[in-house]
Structure 1
Amino acid sequence: MYKQLIEAEDEHVHVTLKPNFGKTTFLFSALKNNQVNIYPEFTGSVLETLGKGNNPAGQTANQTYQLAKQRLAKQEKMTYLKPMQYNNTYALAVTKKFQQEHHLKIISDLTQVESILKPGMTLEFIDRNDGLKGIKKTYGLDVTAKSMEPALRYEAISKGKINLVDAYATDSELRQYHLALLKDNKHFFPTYQGAPLMKTSFANKHPKVVKALNKLAGKISETDMQEMNYEVNVKKQSASTVAHRYLVKHGLLKEGR
């Protein structure tokens, strides 16, 4: 979507996409070192991983964004545009079968089945303070997770090799593998809204790019994102086709562009 909107705004600009570029800290380093110009970062990740300072608990989505924006501007001389609507929050997921068998609704319920839990989680989630470390402390859970590649943990839970995974709220696999998210009843996870991040020097030089990207502010719901992820990951449609369809449908691009 970024590529298509930017190129529609300025026909002299060509955007090169670099997919699967790496984890949060790697991407941020690439941006600082001019290896990339723009990437979408999550508001919660800025506060938890990239910015320095204490994070007040229980902040609203807008408070999270405003604090993230201020820190990036002050500490890194970066411009953080307005976020999209969806909250791609971290979550814990189990199969619907496991959920029903053990009457699980909220994360606190996991303490009742702690002895039979077999978590498989990404290395990033295991390492992060807003991941497993913080969950164990906040919810009083004593579990050890097996580190797994993102795609493999979903296959493993569907085959019964593990029974608890970390997830993102917009993952297509939640629908694909009939998984249920457990409610974060202690409001541990911050809001994770995606927003375009770039150096302020780049934003000042390219006002048309900023204008194009701002068209996505407040757009794309969690359901929209999960459905689009499903179309790409499961139905094997190209990301550019799915992105274009959304942009045209919502009047952000004309059909022929």
Structure 2
Amino acid sequence: MSKAIPMHAPVGSSRARNFWSVCAVVVLLALFVQAWIVVQARPQDLITGAHGMANIFSRAMPPAFDEFVPNLRPILETIDLAIFGTVFGVLLAFPLAILAAANVTPAMPLYYIARAVIGVTRAVPDLVWALVFVTAVGLGPFPGALALAVHSVGMLGRLFAEVIEDMDMGPVEALTLTGAGRMQVLSQAVVPGVLPSLLGIGLFRFDENLRSSLVLGFVGAGGIGFQLLTSMNLFQYQTVSFLLIATFVLVACAERISAYLRSLVM
């Protein structure tokens, strides 16, 4: 009976792998060192400045829980900003995603236009969009809601398009062979096939929009962020600590609710 001959990788290929692994490690270390230099990292400053942080924390205690009622409206504004931005982001992103998915787009020029729109809305940060809309419509929650909606179009449009491109094309081809029109194929094959994934992505985006709405308040877009900035400027650190606690509770609750709803639709 003949014995099986063990197969070994060539020595040359193993050495080449080791060489490129070492090169990758060296490049990563070089990138980290240059980042350390560029950001002017000084860990010793954290030690020497610890007393300043301790002073702020001591002045922030106890939290001003009596500020709950006066800040109830900003808290609701923060939630509504996320809801508005997510809903309109989904409504605008889905048609773009249909055009930006190579397997269902009606024409390649529309594919490239949709991809360009998605790329631009995603590349510009929501904070920049908020500044743009503040100059157009003034201060308040509306520019923040518009900023979240536009930025959500970019993020959701890309994810929606990828889901549609990865979908099972069997039902689409079957309906097409029966002579169904484009809208029938879209409503009876494409949408049912990707709807659970799209709902899950939309809920995840709501999570992100809730966090982003807090930051948008720093540029006058309403919500808890605006109250937090005002309290910091007035050195009302007890109010700041209360608003931070309220923010934590709000985000934690939104995460749990969003995770539960995603578990139902996924």
- If each structure's helix is expressed as a fraction of its own residues, which one has the higher value? 2
The two structures have a TM-score, normalised by structure 2, of: 0.30
> In terms of Rg, which structure is larger?
2
The two structures have a TM-score, normalised by structure 1, of: 0.31
Greater length-normalized contact order (CA 8 Å, ≥ 6 residues apart): 1
- If each structure's strand is expressed as a fraction of its own residues, which one has the higher value? 1
